[in-house]
Protein backbone atom coordinates (compact mmCIF):
# COMPACT_ATOMS: atom_id res chain seq x y z
CA UNK A 1 0.00 0.00 0.00
CA UNK A 2 1.37 3.34 -1.05
CA UNK A 3 1.87 6.10 1.46
CA UNK A 4 1.32 9.77 0.89
CA UNK A 5 3.97 12.15 2.07
CA UNK A 6 4.73 15.82 1.98
CA UNK A 7 8.17 17.27 1.60
CA UNK A 8 9.01 19.92 4.17
CA UNK A 9 12.21 21.06 2.52
CA UNK A 10 10.53 24.36 1.75
CA UNK A 11 12.69 26.77 -0.20
CA UNK A 12 14.92 24.07 -1.57
CA UNK A 13 12.38 21.79 -3.19
CA UNK A 14 9.51 22.41 -5.56
CA UNK A 15 7.50 19.59 -4.02
CA UNK A 16 7.73 21.32 -0.66
CA UNK A 17 7.08 24.77 -2.07
CA UNK A 18 3.92 23.55 -3.76
CA UNK A 19 2.95 21.42 -0.75
CA UNK A 20 2.61 18.62 -3.22
CA UNK A 21 1.32 15.33 -1.90
CA UNK A 22 3.77 12.64 -3.00
CA UNK A 23 2.72 9.05 -3.29
CA UNK A 24 5.48 6.74 -2.20
CA UNK A 25 5.03 3.11 -3.14
CA UNK A 26 5.70 0.23 -0.80
CA UNK A 27 9.37 -0.66 -0.69
CA UNK A 28 10.44 2.78 -1.80
CA UNK A 29 12.17 5.07 0.64
CA UNK A 30 9.79 7.52 2.26
CA UNK A 31 11.79 10.44 0.95
CA UNK A 32 11.18 13.21 -1.50
CA UNK A 33 12.02 12.03 -5.02
CA UNK A 34 13.25 15.49 -5.91
CA UNK A 35 15.41 16.52 -2.95
CA UNK A 36 15.83 13.22 -1.11
CA UNK A 37 14.68 14.59 2.24
CA UNK A 38 12.45 12.60 4.55
CA UNK A 39 8.76 13.20 4.03
CA UNK A 40 6.12 13.72 6.64
CA UNK A 41 3.11 11.46 6.38
CA UNK A 42 0.13 13.06 4.77
CA UNK A 43 -3.21 11.95 6.19
CA UNK A 44 -6.05 12.16 3.64
CA UNK A 45 -8.92 13.05 6.04
CA UNK A 46 -7.45 16.53 6.19
CA UNK A 47 -10.28 17.77 3.99
CA UNK A 48 -12.83 17.04 6.68
CA UNK A 49 -10.74 18.54 9.43
CA UNK A 50 -10.28 21.64 7.33
CA UNK A 51 -14.05 22.01 7.30
CA UNK A 52 -14.08 21.37 11.03
CA UNK A 53 -11.44 24.02 11.52
CA UNK A 54 -13.60 26.44 9.56
CA UNK A 55 -16.59 25.66 11.77
CA UNK A 56 -14.52 25.94 14.92
CA UNK A 57 -13.09 29.19 13.66
CA UNK A 58 -16.57 30.54 12.99
CA UNK A 59 -17.79 29.49 16.43
CA UNK A 60 -14.74 31.05 18.04
CA UNK A 61 -15.33 34.21 16.06
CA UNK A 62 -18.96 34.27 17.19
CA UNK A 63 -17.94 33.80 20.82
CA UNK A 64 -15.43 36.60 20.53
CA UNK A 65 -18.05 38.81 18.91
CA UNK A 66 -20.64 38.04 21.59
CA UNK A 67 -18.15 38.63 24.40
CA UNK A 68 -16.99 41.81 22.74
CA UNK A 69 -20.55 42.96 22.21
CA UNK A 70 -21.53 42.19 25.77
CA UNK A 71 -18.54 44.02 27.14
CA UNK A 72 -19.32 46.92 24.85
CA UNK A 73 -22.99 46.84 25.81
CA UNK A 74 -22.08 46.45 29.47
CA UNK A 75 -20.08 49.63 29.29
CA UNK A 76 -22.92 51.48 27.64
CA UNK A 77 -25.80 50.16 29.76
CA UNK A 78 -25.07 52.11 32.97
CA UNK A 79 -25.26 55.30 30.94
CA UNK A 80 -28.68 54.61 29.42
CA UNK A 81 -30.34 52.52 32.16
CA UNK A 82 -30.36 54.80 35.24
CA UNK A 83 -33.08 56.97 33.76
CA UNK A 84 -35.90 54.38 33.22
CA UNK A 85 -35.62 52.26 36.43
CA UNK A 86 -36.53 54.96 39.00
CA UNK A 87 -39.83 55.63 37.26
CA UNK A 88 -40.71 52.27 35.71
CA UNK A 89 -39.37 49.83 38.31
CA UNK A 90 -41.45 50.92 41.35
CA UNK A 91 -44.62 51.20 39.31
CA UNK A 92 -44.46 47.89 37.48
CA UNK A 93 -43.61 45.31 40.22
CA UNK A 94 -46.65 46.02 42.44
CA UNK A 95 -48.97 45.70 39.45
CA UNK A 96 -47.53 42.36 38.33
CA UNK A 97 -47.74 40.40 41.62
CA UNK A 98 -51.14 41.86 42.41
CA UNK A 99 -52.79 40.60 39.26
CA UNK A 100 -51.93 36.85 39.23
CA UNK A 101 -53.04 36.11 42.81
CA UNK A 102 -56.30 37.97 42.29
CA UNK A 103 -56.97 36.03 39.12
CA UNK A 104 -55.89 32.68 40.50
CA UNK A 105 -57.65 32.93 43.85
CA UNK A 106 -61.20 32.73 42.44
CA UNK A 107 -60.11 29.96 40.09
CA UNK A 108 -58.96 27.59 42.81
CA UNK A 109 -62.20 27.48 44.83
CA UNK A 110 -64.21 27.20 41.62
CA UNK A 111 -62.24 24.20 40.41
CA UNK A 112 -62.39 22.56 43.83
CA UNK A 113 -66.10 23.28 43.96
CA UNK A 114 -66.84 19.56 43.79
CA UNK A 115 -65.52 19.18 47.31
CA UNK A 116 -67.79 21.76 48.84
CA UNK A 117 -69.29 21.18 52.23
CA UNK A 118 -72.87 19.96 52.17
CA UNK A 119 -75.48 22.70 52.15
CA UNK A 120 -77.81 23.04 55.03
CA UNK A 121 -81.54 23.58 54.85
CA UNK A 122 -81.14 27.35 54.88
CA UNK A 123 -78.23 27.41 52.47
CA UNK A 124 -80.13 28.05 49.23
CA UNK A 125 -78.24 31.26 48.68
CA UNK A 126 -74.91 29.55 49.27
CA UNK A 127 -75.91 26.70 46.95
CA UNK A 128 -76.80 29.18 44.25
CA UNK A 129 -73.38 30.81 44.62
CA UNK A 130 -71.85 27.32 44.61
CA UNK A 131 -70.32 27.81 48.02
CA UNK A 132 -71.75 24.49 49.23
CA UNK A 133 -73.18 21.33 47.76
Per CB under 5 A, residues contacting Zn ion are 7, 9, 13, 15-16, 32, 34-35
Contacts made by residues 6-11, CB under 8 angstroms, sequence distance 24+: 6/39, 6/40, 6/42, 7/32, 7/34, 7/35, 7/37, 7/39, 8/37, 8/39, 8/40, 9/35, 9/37
According to DSSP, residue 31 is labeled: B
Provide the minimum distance between the beta carbon of 11 and Zn ion in the complex, in angstroms, as a whole number. Answer: 10
Q: Closer to Zn ion at the Cβ: 36 or 85?
A: 36
Q: Closer to Zn ion at the Cβ: 4 or 126?
A: 4
Provide the minimum distance between the beta carbon of 8 and Zn ion in the complex, in angstroms, as a whole number. Answer: 8
Provide the minimum distance between the beta carbon of 43 and Zn ion in the complex, in angstroms, as a whole number. Answer: 19
H/E stretch holding 41: strand 39-41
Q: Closer to Zn ion at the Cβ: 8 or 119?
A: 8
Provide the minimum distance between the beta carbon of 26 and Zn ion in the complex, in angstroms, as a whole number. Answer: 20
Q: Closer to Zn ion at the Cβ: 29 or 125?
A: 29
HSE of 4, CA atoms in CB hemisphere, 13 A: 8
In degrees, to the nearest 5, what angle opens at C-alpha 46 toward C-alphas 40 and 52?
Answer: 140
Amino acid sequence: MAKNGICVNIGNCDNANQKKVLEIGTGQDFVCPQCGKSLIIYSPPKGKSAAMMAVIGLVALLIVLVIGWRMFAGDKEPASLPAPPPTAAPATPPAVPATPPAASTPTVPASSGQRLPPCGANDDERRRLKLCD
